[in-house]
Structure 1
Amino acid sequence: MLAFIARNMARPARLVKPVSLVKLPGRYLAHQEGLPHFPIPPLQQTLDKYLLALKPLVSQEEWSHTSEVVEDFRTSGVGERLQKGLERRAKKTENWLADWWLQTAYLEYRMPVVVHSSPGVVLPKQDFEDRQGQLRYAAKLIEGVLDFKSMIDNETLPVEYLGGKPLCMNQYYQILSSCRIPGPKRDSVVNYSQVKKPPTHITVVHNFQFFELDVYNSDGSPLTADQIFNQLEKIWGTSLQTNKEPIGILTSNHRNSWAKAYNNLIKDKTNKESVRSIQKSIFTVCLDGPMPKVSDELYKSRVAAQMLHGGGSRLNSGNRWFDKTLQFIVAEDGSCGLVYEHAPAEGPPIVALLDHVVEYTKKPDLVRSPMIPLPLPKKLRFNITPEIKSDIEKAKQNLNM
């Protein structure tokens, strides 16, 4: 999925959404508990739809043969037995398909998440006059995401309706403080948003260097854009080296290769703590370096590539942790967007979040925040062994192919 918002739209930028989807005030749980379970279609309906979908894709001879196989499946009793098994499963779960879909469509899929499954979204281009402009916009974006998070936490998000009926809102609770973890045959997803002490930090990446940035004050209130800006300046000032190993590029590799490298990486205590910090963080912000300049005609293609994969190992692909559910990208040249790991959620929660953030970044800061001393952002350290260095080089080669 690629979503584009044009720079010159007269109306406020909106990502494409179903026109019949409406949002109405109401508390999430009040509607959620009354939702029907995911239905199971009758066996005959499933078989008819299967044949109908197959017909344009195969020859008449193949379709006739498949029709005979389907009829045998229906009349032999095998279809009925499997249908009853589905019905038993449906009685025990809210959605009999959800876990199977998650495992089969995403977590067992072994190709890299980069390009193959992680969507990129391009946000309106900004005109930054200098580095401060980039960091101030990033700070406002972070503040906007935290504002959206407060609606999730307080259950004040408008409930989505389709055809006059409320929709399931569970996926809104999966997009923050979550991360994919590689496995040798199947990946997994961890979510820290519902634990006893949820995370209060985000991850910031600059020049391939990762930082843990607390975004809440000691009293639980979120940092203001001014406070976040000052913290981002500290991060920028301590990450000017451009010769650091792009540890994040490991996450772009084939899932089996990355799983092996991951297990090797976290054998080291320091590495393990740094990886856990990234996984637990609410979301990630990538402060990208400039991309090669192109003509206006080619800009959309270039910025789409930047959001999808970072442009290659020599550019910004190492400035990512592609397993992280949400990664917001703010580049020096004003290119902005998002890449998100698809397993925890489908598109609607992401679209709603981005709509909120785009509008939020347009709001002026009416009052300057008092400058309360804040702890320095924590730089996440990685010990690079020769084996890890070799894994990084292989990931670079695979991404650049």
Structure 2
Amino acid sequence: MLSVHVISSPNTGESSYSDIFYSDSIYPDTFNSDSNYSDTFYSDSIYSDTFYSDSIYSDAQFVRQVPCNLKKMNAAKKKEIGRMFSVQDSLPRLPVPALDQTLQKYLQSVRPLLTDEEYANTEQIVKDFHKDPGPKLQTLLQKRAQKETNWLSDWWTNYAYLSFRSPVTVNVSPGVLFPKQSYTTKDGQLKFAAKLIAGLLDYKMLIDNETLPVEHMGKQALCMMQYYKILSACRIPGSKNDSWVCYPPDEPNAPSHITVIHNNCYFSLDVYGEDRKPLNTEQLYKQLKTIVEMSNKPEMPVGILTSENRNTWGQIYKRLMKDKTNKASIQDIQRSIVAVCIDNHFTAEDGGEESMAARMMLHGGGSHLNSGNRWNDKTLQFIIGKNGWCGLNYEHTSAEGPPIIAIVDHVLEFCKNNKDLWHAAPGMKPPRKLNFSVTDKTEEEIAHAQEHLDSLVNDIDMNVFKFSEYGKNFPKSQKLSPDSYLQIAYQLAYFRLYGKPCATYETASLRQFQLGRTDTIRSCSNESFEFSKAMDDPNVPTAKKAELLRKAVASHKSYVADAVKGQGIDRHLLGLKLTALENNMDIPQLHMDVAYSVSSHHNISTSQVAAKNEAVLVFGPTVPDGYGICYNPQETQVIFGVSAFNCCPETYSKKFIDSLKKSLQDMRDVLGGTVKSKL
């Protein structure tokens, strides 16, 4: 039905991306999803999946992708109601927005970020682009859209991910912290891990059998292809560009094992018995206990090499794969369904236990803690801490947040059940240790990787903050979109700290289109700027402040509505730029103008992850002087993960949190609102 899915990034010589950690080239961030896909008037959460900066300067040629062939799928299955792909072929294709429309919106979006002189210059550049080469590039892009199922998806995979050369740790892969569990012992840790694996296998059956219902945004069906790309998937490093591989469940030798990592030791654990019957919780617990007994002492942290710069790791990988033992072990990890990391204890540091636990999910805490107990190329790594904290880390190439959050919600609900849902599977195989041949050169490379990773870990300033004075309930009571309301709060918080607006990134989901990924919601607007200026002006009446707040929220909501319909501007401008490069044309002046640079320098990068539980997602900022903000809006509280870089003296996560808290309080007061608790 679906063959092995391989995506290769073009190998065209040295990448033009900066290898420096703070390169501004591309920063995939994170995601935003409403697991219930609410179509109520006030819910915007489904509109945000994942976000990125797209200052792309590579002149590389494109692109080889071997896509999943849906036409070979069983026709009868496709027609069955509720099947994952039942409406896939009927989904619309991603449109190419009108050039005039995009240029007009672009000018509006950059106005609050520019001086009068800069804006006048940008206006002229846009006018010139509208004459030439804009129309020619638009025609070429429209021709591509006629030929491709999705004119953006291949480009996006290659340029947002596979060509990105900075470490995936922090820069690409978000961490997700689950609510703290009740276990406190090693035995409890293993029993919870067994339940989690069983819950994952339970969900995997829905994917394998294609029985997941088609998701909807309002009445619009969404593309379900990403669900097929998150298990048995792995990124593969290259010395210049990466590739990615997925092993679908219908292939003759479909993977039936997971990778378990403990004390930097790697094990292949078959999670199915005879006739592909999944092991039950008790069987999984016994297997995990055996693994822990087989790895009672830490070994050389080979996995920390996966946190290196992609060029460096690619060169090391190429040499490791020449050894038969290494090759067999690495390929076993790549094929595995997921990785499960059984971590050691950590001590709470600055910011408290929850913030420290969130950092564990993001980067492992450093080489002295759990950073070596990972394989960061795996699409999904579940992380089970020793003291009740657990979560996951996921490599972003193949999917946005909704499939990941769907798994999280299912697994956590599954773990609440104390009974096995199925009988013991016959034919259980013992776990198998994966060995590595570590030479003196490899030991030296591991030491360098530890230094680099520790430097990155020490640079991250990240804290979790729970705002409990109100949640979605208050903006909804004011007939305001909760997501748009929170986005304006970020604008006000930043303006109060720095006295100016900033480019802000939020994502719009394009999953209503075939193979849809994301577009950008530019949250900073003329309306949000006017509101921020007025908020602390004693000469502006409260009623006027409330009016400006409502206008700012409405402007953001309008932008969201356009973006999710494929009428955003950032991916269109990106497509025009890549069209020029693909046709050996000069990069347009519009893409080298200060306005394009400033509006792509996201001092605030945001992601909403709306979970059914108190999970919080965390990621690093996308620019050295920026903030990364993830938020989980619940009915009566909002949970935030806020990050900054210690190397920047102007940014500090706690300082932003304090400003955000005050902004949320003041916005409520300006609206004259009182929050009613539900009985």
* TM-score, L = length of structure 2: 0.55
Query: Partners of 2:88 and 2:435 in 1: how far apart?
Result: 42
User: Shift of the alpha carbon at 1:18?
Assistant: 5.6
Q: Which amino acid aligns with 2:102?
A: T
SS at match of 2:391: strand
Tell me, yes or no, if structure 1 residue 313 matches structure 2 residue 364. no
Q: Which amino acid aligns with 1:223?
A: L
SS at match of 1:28: coil
Deviations 1:76-118 (A, max 9, x none): 3x21111111111111222111111111111111111111110
Contact 2:172 2:396 in 1 (8 A): yes
Match of 1:193 in 2: 248
1:398 to 437, 448, 452: 452
What are the ranges of 5 or more consecutive residues in structure 1 without an aligned counterpart? 4-13
User: Shift of the alpha carbon at 1:130?
Assistant: 2.5
User: Shift of the alpha carbon at 1:390?
Assistant: 1.1
SS at match of 2:274: coil
1:156 to 194, 203, 211: 211
Equivalent residues in 2 for 1:184-333, closer than 5 Å: 184-193=239-248, 195-242=251-298, 244-294=299-349, 298-333=352-387
1:33 to 80, 85, 89: 89
SS at match of 1:156: coil
Contact 2:184 2:388 in 1 (8 A): no
Equivalent residues in 2 for 1:2-401, closer than 5 Å: 19-20=38-39, 26-76=82-132, 78-193=133-248, 195-242=251-298, 244-294=299-349, 298-365=352-419, 369-370=423-424, 372=426, 374-401=428-455
Contact 2:281 2:420 in 1 (8 A): no
User: Shift of the alpha carbon at 1:145?
Assistant: 0.8
User: Shift of the alpha carbon at 1:163?
Assistant: 2.4
Match of 2:470 in 1: none
User: Shift of the alpha carbon at 1:57?
Assistant: 2.4
User: Shift of the alpha carbon at 1:373?
Assistant: 5.7
User: Shift of the alpha carbon at 1:278?
Assistant: 0.5
Query: Partners of 2:420 and 2:164 in 1: how far apart?
Result: 48
Query: Partners of 1:247 and 1:228 in 2: how far apart?
Result: 25
Q: Which amino acid aligns with 1:119?
A: P
Q: 1:330 to 1:15 in 2, by over 3 A?
A: farther
Q: 1:317 to 1:17 in 2, by over 3 A?
A: farther
Match of 1:6 in 2: none
Contact 2:38 2:217 in 1 (8 A): no
Q: Which amino acid aligns with 2:376?
A: F
* TM-score, L = length of structure 1: 0.92
User: Shift of the alpha carbon at 1:127?
Assistant: 2.2
Q: 1:368 to 1:281 in 2, by over 3 A?
A: closer
SS at match of 1:159: coil
Q: Which moves more between the two structures, 341-350 or 359-368?
A: 359-368
Query: Partners of 1:47 and 1:348 in 2: how far apart?
Result: 31
Query: Partners of 1:368 and 1:176 in 2: how far apart?
Result: 22
Match of 1:8 in 2: none
User: Shift of the alpha carbon at 1:196?
Assistant: 3.4
Contact 2:34 2:402 in 1 (8 A): no
Contact 1:264 1:388 in 2 (8 A): no
Q: Which amino acid aligns with 1:282?
A: I
SS at match of 1:29: coil
Match of 2:587 in 1: none
Contact 2:280 2:421 in 1 (8 A): no
Match of 1:11 in 2: none
User: Shift of the alpha carbon at 1:129?
Assistant: 4.2
User: Shift of the alpha carbon at 1:197?
Assistant: 2.0
User: Shift of the alpha carbon at 1:331?
Assistant: 1.2
Contact 2:274 2:427 in 1 (8 A): no
Q: Percent identity?
A: 48
RMSD over equivalenced CA pairs, Å: 2.1
**Number of residues of Structure 1 aligned to a counterpart in Structure 2:** 387
Contact 1:283 1:327 in 2 (8 A): yes
Match of 1:7 in 2: none
Query: Partners of 1:16 and 1:123 in 2: how far apart?
Result: 16
Q: 1:256 to 1:168 in 2, by over 3 A?
A: same
SS at match of 1:212: strand
Query: Partners of 1:161 and 1:28 in 2: how far apart?
Result: 12
Contact 1:179 1:279 in 2 (8 A): yes
Query: Partners of 1:179 and 1:56 in 2: how far apart?
Result: 41
Query: Partners of 2:315 and 2:110 in 1: how far apart?
Result: 38
Rg larger in structure = 2
User: Shift of the alpha carbon at 1:126?
Assistant: 1.4
Contact 1:2 1:121 in 2 (8 A): no
Contact 1:305 1:311 in 2 (8 A): yes
Query: Partners of 2:252 and 2:101 in 1: how far apart?
Result: 45
Query: Partners of 1:29 and 1:129 in 2: how far apart?
Result: 42
